[in-house]
Amino acid sequence: MSDTCVFCKIISKEVKATIVYRDEQVTAFRDTHPVAPTHILLVPNKHIDSVGALDAEDEQLIGHIFTVARRLAEEEGIANGGYRMITNTGSEAGQTVFHLHVHLIGGQRMRYPMG
């Protein structure tokens, strides 16, 4: 838990969010500035700054985030159409909240190319 991290505050319920899923390892909530009809953020409950701060011991946690994302995509009705998952790492990549998160985006045709 970081005192200044907004996602830690969402996990601890100090800051309100529309939480769509939570378990002992991961919390998922709707992005306040959605870029598509479905835009969910999946975050580990423990504070990790970014992919750049991951350890080998986090591998199970990251795999779990992906399987939760797959389930949420099915619940949101975007699994058949397709969806995109994005994790920005560092400021040049556009990371603005330094608590590792995966964007789950879908419900419309995605623009391409990325970058």
Sign of CA dihedral 53, 62, 26, 37: positive
Binding to ligand AMP by residue 89, rule CB under 6 A? no
The residues near 78 (Cβ < 8 Å, ≥ 6 apart) are 37, 38, 106, 107
Smallest gap from residue 50 Cβ to ligand AMP (A): 9
Binding to ligand AMP by residue 97, rule CB under 6 A? yes
Smallest gap from residue 39 Cβ to Zn ion (A): 19
Q: Which is nearer to ligand AMP, 73 or 101 (CB)?
A: 101
Beta-sheet strand order (sheet of 38-44): 19-22, 26-30, 38-44, 102-106, 83-86
Binds ligand AMP by CB under 6 A, chosen from 4, 80, 91, 96: 96
Give the interface with Zn ion as residue ranges (CB under 5 A).
2, 5, 7-8, 47, 99
